[in-house]
Amino acid sequence: MLSLQPDSVPALTALGRLQLLDHNDAEAIRLLERALRGNPSDAESTYQLGVLYDRNGRSEEAIKLLRRAITLRANYPDPHYHLGRIALEHKDYRAALAELELARKLLPDQEAIRMRSAALTRPSAAPPKPKRSSMKSAASRPPSSNATASVSNPMR
C-alpha cells in the first residue's frame, strides 16, 4: 500500500505497529513519526511512539508523548499505566501511585494495575520493582480498554 500511497497514515501506522511487535524499534519509530506528522491527533500512535521512546532510553520525550495521548483521548488508561511505570523506575512513588490510581479507575478490573497500586499504598511494603524487559512480557502491561487491538497490549 505504501508503494501506491507513500503518505497513507493508516498504512504507516499499521506498519509501525507491526515493526513494534517484531521489536524492530528503529523502523517502528520512523514509521510512527511519519504517521503522526500526517495525523497528529492519533492518540494510539502517540501512545505507541511514547512507549517506544521510553523503551529506547528517551524517557523525557516519552513522558511528553504519553501526556499528549491522554490529552487526545481523555479516558485512555494505557498512558497512565505507562507513566506510572516510568515514575516507579525513577523512584517517584507519589507520581507512580497517582498515575496507577488513574489507570485503575479507568480499568477497575485489571489485576496488574490493582496489584501495583496496592503495593504502593501498603505502609510496610517496599515499592514493587518494575519489570523492565523490552516489553516482551505481556503480563507486565494491563489490557487496554480500547475496543480495537493494540500492539502494545497483545493480551487482549
- Cα angle value 64/141/58 (rounded, 5°): 30
Whether residues 45 and 57 fall in one domain: yes
Whole-number average pLDDT of the chain? 80
Mean pLDDT throughout 69-93?
95
- Same domain for 88 and 49? no
Residue 85's domain comprises 75-123
Residue 19 and residue 11: Cα distance in Å, rounded?
Answer: 12
User: What does DSSP assign to residue 134?
Assistant: S
The total number of structural domains in the chain stands at 2
User: What would the mean pLDDT of 55-65 be, rounded to a whole number?
Assistant: 97
The predicted pLDDT at position 140 comes to 41
Q: Report how far residue 113's alpha carbon sits from residue 53's, in angstroms, rounded to the nearest whole number.
A: 22
The answer to whether residue 7 scores a pLDDT higher than 90 is no
**pLDDT higher for 28 or 147?**
28
151 domain residue, yes or no: no
Give tens-digit pLDDT for 93-144: 999 999 999 988 998 777 777 777 777 776 544 555 555 544 443 334 454 5
Percent of the chain at pLDDT exceeding 90 = 58
Contact 42, 25 (CB under 8 A): no
Same domain, 41 and 82: no
Q: 67 and 2, same structural domain?
A: yes
* Distance separating alpha carbons of residues 94 and 119, to the nearest angstrom: 12
Residues contacting residue 154 through CB under 8 Å, at least 6 positions apart: 21, 138
Cell of 68: 499528549
